[in-house]
Structure 1
Amino acid sequence: MSTVVPSSFMNISSSLSFLGLFYCDLQGNFPNSIFHLPSLKTLDLSHNHNLIVVFPKVNWSSPLEVLDVSSMTFSGEFSPLENLKYLTDFAASNCSLNGLVPISLGNLPNLVHISLYYNSFNGSLPSWLFTQPLLRYVDLGFNQLTGTINEFHSKSLEILYLDGNRLHGSIPSSIFELVNLTTLFLYLNNSSATDLYLFSKLNKLKWLDFSHVSLSLSTPFKGNSSFPQLTQLRLSACNLSEFPEILRKSDQLSLLDLSENRIHGRIPKWMWNIGKESLSSLNLSHNFLTTIDQLPWKNLRYLDLRSNFLQAPFPIPPYDLKYLSLSSNNLTGEIPQLCNMSILKVIDLSNNNLNGTIPQCMVNSSSLQVLDVRKNRPHGNIPRAFASGNYLRTLNFNGNGLEGPIPQSLVNCTRLEVLDLGNNNINDSFPYWLGNLPKLQVLVLHFNNFYGSIWGSSEFNSSFPMLRILDLSHNNFDGYLSTRFFENLKAMMNLDEEKKKLNYMGVSYYQDSVEVVVKGFGIHLEKILTTFTTIDFSNNNFHGEIPSSIGKLHSLRLLNLSQNSLTGHIPSSLGDLTALEALDLSSNKLIGLIPTQLVSLTFLAKLNLSQNQLVGPILRGNQFETFQNDSYIGNPDLCGFILTNKCNIDEAIQPKSSIFHGEKLSNSGWCEWKIAMMGYGCGLPFGLFIGYQVLTTGKPLWLLRMINRATKRCERSRRRN
């Protein structure tokens, strides 16, 4: 209903009691008069992200019982709700609300259900949480609440979410008296250890999440201690050193998460009977497990065993598994042929010692979305036949010993977003035909044996429309940098508003990662922000000038063209890369002045212009005040405030060989620069501007007159002072 004007709801009948407009894509200002309807009992406006609501300060609709404004835009302050005496259900989640949780909610005697998760509320937990007599459902998860949890004076709570905050301290003893609790999600920082067996008193518990809460298993296991109705249990990062035996009778579990603990050795045999018919998700990652004898769970869909010490042989996974992660273990032998699993979507075998070849049948799967076998020891070629109509989204073969060319059947992977072939022995020309993949966002080919030009083919037209990360470094590419190539990188020019939100690349239970180089240091990004953009062409044989068209890539964060044979000037258009955070043009043959336009790069944190043939003063202002001399070394004709070579207005800085527009500077030309430097003392912007114009124009006479006048004014000013 995005075309519907919200004001059209102003003439609604006064007898209306129920109004539901959730998930309607409404936009604009919601009419305040709706809140005053005399008979309205239920109002649900949730999940209209562009709908703006302003709560009235007085005269609310007194019979209102249910109010849901989640995932909307609030304007103004969060108004008091005291006069809504009949309100039982209130939800304002994911609304970017901040400040303290409203005290006025404690004055609503009928309040039963309240949801305020995914906001920015701070301060301590509201006092009404512990005293309201009718509260059954409370969700304050994922805010910025601090402090401790007080004792509960009411036993009405059935569902309580306090996870994703900054709470600390001990678990109050009264929580074990909340006999009606079915769901409890709680994170506590630096808490003292609480005995897990105490929670067996809560016989109605179905969902329990105590991630990041220190737990102990000090009480000896008793046969009658159990969670008879428990279906989901998360005890991640709880400092456990063994499997809790209290789970022995938990035969209804569908989800079990014991990740990030200190559990070691083998999985005990009694675990095979836990949720044997019901368990669908098992996460034992980031422990010290060495052996798994069997996987008896018939309905298992998600299995996460990464970051352990597991060794081969590994048992055959269940037929209906969807997600399998065995990354960062000690697995050896050949890569398993997981080919008969009809709905498998994610296979992550990275960071092991597996060898052999990558099975052809795995890339022919009709369901597979992610195949990650990076950092193993396979050999041979990349599988040659990628079936048409496949669902592959991520292929990560980085850090193996793969050889040969890239198979052109990869064009059948029309859903591919990430292709990482870095750190192999691939010998091939640039796969320009990958530019036809409509969704490809990440292409990493670094540290291989690629050769030739990357734009010489006549078939290379409007290519790579979605590409955001391009790493061709450490290869044998050569030729000129093509203007047309950079003009095709549309996704690096302007990220749309949706992609500017804090999102990461990946699919369910798997997030893409990538390695990038910043000023010579490799950085492994465990998650890839959808706003991250980079180009790395370093350590190749590119020559010629840097195309000014790079300046159109306004969303670019990192640009590395170092260790090539690039010539000419640094294009002033690089000053248009307003999002740039790192720029490395070192070890080339660049000449001339550093463009003053680069001062406008206010996000620039790393700069390397070393080992070139640049001349003149280094820039001042903004980020250039923070760079050290290692950003400029190897340019003997540069001068400036942090260099040993100071800019002397009385002496000409004579370059050995500087070229402007293909011609060496004459003595008279350098004199013109010395005169321009006299303007430096009167004002850096004026001096640099004049100097740059004198050196880059063929008719500097009028500029020299301006310099002369400016110099005289400066001298007069000095004498007066």
Structure 2
Amino acid sequence: MILLILKQPVGRRISTVALGMGSSVTKTQAMWRLNLADNDFNGSLIPSEFGNFKSLTYLNLSYSVFSGQIPFEISQLSSLVSLDLSKNGGLLVIKAPVWKRVIGNLTQLRELILDSTNMSSIRPNSLLNLSSSLTTLSLRECDLRGKLENNILYLPSIQTLDLTGNSNLEGSLLMFSREFLNSIDNLKSLKHLALPNCNFTGSIPAWLGNFTKLTYLDLSNNSFSGLLPSSLFNLPNLSTLNLRYNQLVGPLPSHVSGLNLIILSLSSNFLNGTLPSWLFSMPSLETLYLNGNQFVGEIGEFKYNSLRHLDLGYNKLHGSIPRSVSRLVNLTSLSLSSNNLSIMLGSEMFSKLENLYDLVLSKNSVSINNNAAYALPNLLRLNLSSSNISEFPIFLRLTTNLQVLDLSNNQIYGQVPRWLGDVGMNSLYYVNLRGNLLQGPFPILNSSNLQFMFFSNNKFTGEISSFICDAIYLRVLDLSHNNLSGMIPKCLVNSTALSVLDLRMNSINGTIPATFAIRNNFRNINLNGNQLEGSLPPSLANCRDLEVLDLGNNKISGAFPYWLGSLQKLQVLVIRSNRFQGYIDNPKTKFPFPNLRIIDISNNQFNGPLPLTYFEYLKAMMNVDESGVASKYMGEHFYQDSLNIMMKGHNIEMERVLTILTSIDFSNNSFRGEMPKIIGRLKSLKGLNFSYNNLTGYIPSSIGNLTNLEWLDLSFNKLGGKIPSQLVDLTSLGVLQLSHNQLTGHIPSGKQFNTFSNDSYTENLGLCGFPLSRTCDNHEAKQPPPPTLQQDENLDHENGFGWQAVSIGYACGTIFGMFMGYLMFKIGKPKCIVRMVKLEQHIMLRRLKKNAHKRGGRR
């Protein structure tokens, strides 16, 4: 009996299955084969009643959207020869007790396929106890965990072993028992071995070359290292060899015998040497991937026309493309990027490659012959970036199905030809012309499918064309670094598809359109370096997915946009060099800016005290966990975020922004009052800049907790007191600016402080010690102006004398108070007493004037 398809009723649990024999289980106990594959049971459980089909030898429930735990009744089907429960959307789970019964009872199994079944609780060693009759074992992406014993290949009848995608496995193919190695001659039935992405280490053993029936070998995406065993290239039946994404070294064998591969992929290793001639002499070779290695020399001539996919990119090859490429009429993809090749595009070499859909020649030396008349009618992708071309390849005029066009970072000059607007009219979705010398008006592209447009770093002028409003699927628009003018089209902020809007460094004027759509998808809005004015539209708060907002270097006015604090995903806020003004009031939301990591509000007209309440909620700046994220950059696959930032005293345009970068820049405003101690909780800070304000009081010692700090600028304020000794522990600090303040006392020494120059401390007349020429026992050094009364309560001067000592004087008499204060802190030369008397007189005079002023006010 065979049940091939059962689609009705979809999604309902099956309790009995009958096939022309009634509905009773007893009548179906003689069923031999049951196939419910390729259905949709909508997450139903596998019926336990299947266990009643005692005679079943073939059970296939793959691709049928079953879910939940596999019932233990499946293990009662002791006659099963083939069991396939694969590809149920990762919804099926097999637990250890059921697995143990499957191993113990299903002793007739020859085929076991459980791809995408959750086996995370199963010990990998238990695989060795499977049926000795097993010929096929496929456990792709089953989340197997732990160490896999080295004799996994000891299953005596195994022909196909596929453990693809179990990245939590550990193991090696080296440490096999002597018994296993002696029995290899009896294990030559293995035909298909796939262990990619299984976290294997060590070398690839040469004895794999003894599996003479092997047709398919995939050890890709592991950490295999060492030399590439030449024995693998002498397997007579091998058709697929995939060793990409490992750490293999050394050259390819210079001679092989009997090898007739169809697919050879060795990409992304550290292989070197020249390309041997046998690579170009295999009559059945269809796919050759050697990209991402260190091969040198020239490309040989292909003797056969079987090749369909060729990728030799990211090597050190030189010379020209071999003439034989023109005969590869079956070629569909050709990538030679990032070599030192000289390529003439437009010659008859490409005229016969009518099946070519993917052509990547970027980062070579490419010449274009626009006098040759030919077309590549099926071309879908053309990448000629960084190839030193100076004109558009004219063969594109007849390329009607183009989807991706990348001509970035070349020397193309003049206006964009009109015919380019009609290329891929219904198909073009990605176009990149950034980094050229293009000029004239904004180009018009007529494709209705545009999703990614990169026109930055050119010399386009005029307004942004209204055609952009027809690109309703547009996701990324980068027009930065041009000479565009006019206003921002309203349709751009009304879009619900746009994720990135980058218009920085143009001459765009007017106001920001006020109608951001409610359900928009904006992730990055960068309008830096334009002439925008007016206030920020409150509808910006509709951008719930916004991560980067850069409005710096415009003429935008108004109060601090506190309502942006409700944007939970916002990581970067830059409004520097605008016309914002006023106090920064307390936040209106309960937990403002929870993911903010970079804030720059410098060069505005903010005043009042520093916003203490906001500092309390900057949680993303408080946690320090740089493990595993140091190499991650902000952005997405097609667009990586860039940012202009003041870093270590320099204005830097970062083409990529690390996710661990955190900084605060409040410089060049009119903030006053003291620095809040809570700053010391922001332990992931890399940069802090409060320079050019009116801050008073002390440098809080809590800044010594900022162990990740790399630059600190507090210059041009009115800070007094000593430099906290805790700052010496900031071993990452590379730039320190404390100049133009009223700091006093000994400059801390040791660690990073021994590397800072005089410039870090200039115009602090009360400081002494290295690196200044003024030593701390030089009491003739000019003293700074006396501190404010607010500071006097805790301020220690260079000789240790402060307001606390003077307070004693007022209680016990002036001279006695001075003497006690002198004894409490430091015994110095008599000159110190003179300075103390002068200081006390000055303070008393100020108090008298203040009291007189109050009395006059009361009159």
Question: Is the shorter-chain TM-score for this pair beyond 0.5, marking a shared fold?
Answer: yes
Q: Which letter does structure 1 place at the counterpart of 2:298?
A: I
Q: Secondary structure at the match of 2:800?
A: helix
What is the rounded CA distance, in whole Å, between the counterparts of 1:247 and 1:259 in structure 2?
23
5 Å-filtered alignment, 1:43-442, equals: 43-55=161-173, 57-59=175-177, 62=187, 63-74=189-200, 77-78=202-203, 80=205, 82-83=207-208, 85-86=210-211, 87-95=214-222, 100-101=227-228, 105=232, 111-121=238-248, 123-127=249-253, 133-152=259-278, 155-156=281-282, 157-167=285-295, 169-174=296-301, 176-177=302-303, 179-187=305-313, 191-195=317-321, 197-217=323-343, 221-222=347-348, 225-242=351-368, 248-265=374-391, 267-268=393-394, 270-274=395-399, 276=400, 278-289=401-412, 290=414, 291-294=416-419, 295-296=421-422, 297-298=424-425, 299-310=427-438, 311-312=440-441, 314-337=443-466, 338-442=468-572
Q: Which letter does structure 1 place at the counterpart of 2:474?
A: L
What is the rounded CA distance, in whole Å, between the counterparts of 2:292 and 2:270 in structure 1?
8
Deviations, residues 491-541 of structure 1 (Å, cap 9, x unaligned):
222366786152222234222110111233111111122222222222122
Q: Which moved more, 1:243-252 or 1:206-215?
A: 243-252
What is the rounded CA distance, in whole Å, between the counterparts of 1:620 and 1:591 in structure 2?
19
Taking structure 1 as the reference length, the TM-score comes to 0.83
Q: Secondary structure at the match of 1:669?
A: coil
- Classify 1:494/1:148 alpha carbon distance in 2 versus 1 (closer, same or farther; 3 Å): farther
Q: CA RMSD in A?
A: 3.6
Q: Secondary structure at the match of 1:614?
A: strand
Alpha-carbon distance, 1:111 to partner: 4.7
- Classify 1:489/1:135 alpha carbon distance in 2 versus 1 (closer, same or farther; 3 Å): farther
Contact kept, 8 Å, 1:414 with 1:438, in 2: the verdict is: yes
- Classify 1:196/1:242 alpha carbon distance in 2 versus 1 (closer, same or farther; 3 Å): farther
Q: Secondary structure at the match of 1:506?
A: coil
5 Å-filtered alignment, 1:565-714, equals: 565-647=694-776, 655-656=783-784, 662-665=793-796, 669-670=800-801
- Classify 1:356/1:69 alpha carbon distance in 2 versus 1 (closer, same or farther; 3 Å): same
What is the rounded CA distance, in whole Å, between the counterparts of 1:390 and 1:611 in structure 2?
47
What is the rounded CA distance, in whole Å, between the counterparts of 1:476 and 1:533 in structure 2?
23
Contact kept, 8 Å, 2:356 with 2:378, in 1: the verdict is: yes
Q: Which moved more, 1:66-75 or 1:435-444?
A: 66-75
Contact kept, 8 Å, 1:187 with 1:213, in 2: the verdict is: yes
Q: Does 1:474 align with 2:603?
A: yes
Match in the other structure for 1:690: none
Identity %: 41
Contact kept, 8 Å, 2:204 with 2:228, in 1: the verdict is: no
Q: Does 1:13 align with 2:130?
A: yes
Q: Which letter does structure 2 place at the counterpart of 1:432?
A: Y
What is the rounded CA distance, in whole Å, between the counterparts of 2:723 and 2:593 in structure 1?
31
Alpha-carbon distance, 1:577 to partner: 2.5
Alpha-carbon distance, 1:99 to partner: 5.0
Q: Secondary structure at the match of 1:500?
A: coil
Q: Which letter does structure 2 place at the counterpart of 1:260?
A: S
Q: Which letter does structure 2 place at the counterpart of 1:419?
A: L
Q: Which letter does structure 2 place at the counterpart of 1:288?
A: Q
Match in the other structure for 1:541: 670
Q: Which letter does structure 2 place at the counterpart of 1:669?
A: G
- Classify 1:266/1:567 alpha carbon distance in 2 versus 1 (closer, same or farther; 3 Å): same
Match in the other structure for 2:629: 500
What is the rounded CA distance, in whole Å, between the counterparts of 1:17 and 1:496 in structure 2?
47
Q: Secondary structure at the match of 1:184?
A: strand
Contact kept, 8 Å, 2:250 with 2:270, in 1: the verdict is: no
Q: Does 1:550 align with 2:667?
A: no
Contact kept, 8 Å, 1:82 with 1:108, in 2: the verdict is: no
Q: Which letter does structure 1 place at the counterpart of 2:156?
A: P
Match in the other structure for 1:715: none
Contact kept, 8 Å, 1:281 with 1:300, in 2: the verdict is: yes
- Classify 1:132/1:208 alpha carbon distance in 2 versus 1 (closer, same or farther; 3 Å): farther
Q: Which letter does structure 2 place at the counterpart of 1:595?
A: P
Q: Secondary structure at the match of 1:351?
A: coil
Alpha-carbon distance, 1:107 to partner: 7.0
Q: Which letter does structure 2 place at the counterpart of 1:163?
A: N
Q: Which letter does structure 2 place at the counterpart of 1:155?
A: S
Alpha-carbon distance, 1:451 to partner: 1.5
Q: Which moved more, 1:659-668 or 1:254-263?
A: 659-668
Q: Secondary structure at the match of 1:419?
A: strand
Match in the other structure for 2:659: 530
5 Å-filtered alignment, 1:441-452, equals: 441-452=571-582
What is the rounded CA distance, in whole Å, between the counterparts of 2:541 and 2:605 in structure 1?
24
Q: Which moved more, 1:366-375 or 1:659-668?
A: 659-668
- Classify 1:27/1:536 alpha carbon distance in 2 versus 1 (closer, same or farther; 3 Å): farther
What is the rounded CA distance, in whole Å, between the counterparts of 1:7 and 1:547 in structure 2?
55
What is the rounded CA distance, in whole Å, between the counterparts of 1:557 and 1:394 in structure 2?
22
What is the rounded CA distance, in whole Å, between the counterparts of 2:673 and 2:785 in structure 1?
18
Aligned residues: 670
Match in the other structure for 1:682: none
Q: Secondary structure at the match of 1:588?
A: coil
- Classify 1:35/1:328 alpha carbon distance in 2 versus 1 (closer, same or farther; 3 Å): same
What is the rounded CA distance, in whole Å, between the counterparts of 2:616 and 2:158 in structure 1?
56
- Classify 1:453/1:50 alpha carbon distance in 2 versus 1 (closer, same or farther; 3 Å): farther
Contact kept, 8 Å, 2:234 with 2:257, in 1: the verdict is: no
Alpha-carbon distance, 1:637 to partner: 3.3
Taking structure 2 as the reference length, the TM-score comes to 0.71
What is the rounded CA distance, in whole Å, between the counterparts of 1:585 and 1:170 in structure 2?
56
Contact kept, 8 Å, 2:409 with 2:435, in 1: the verdict is: yes
- Classify 1:70/1:560 alpha carbon distance in 2 versus 1 (closer, same or farther; 3 Å): farther
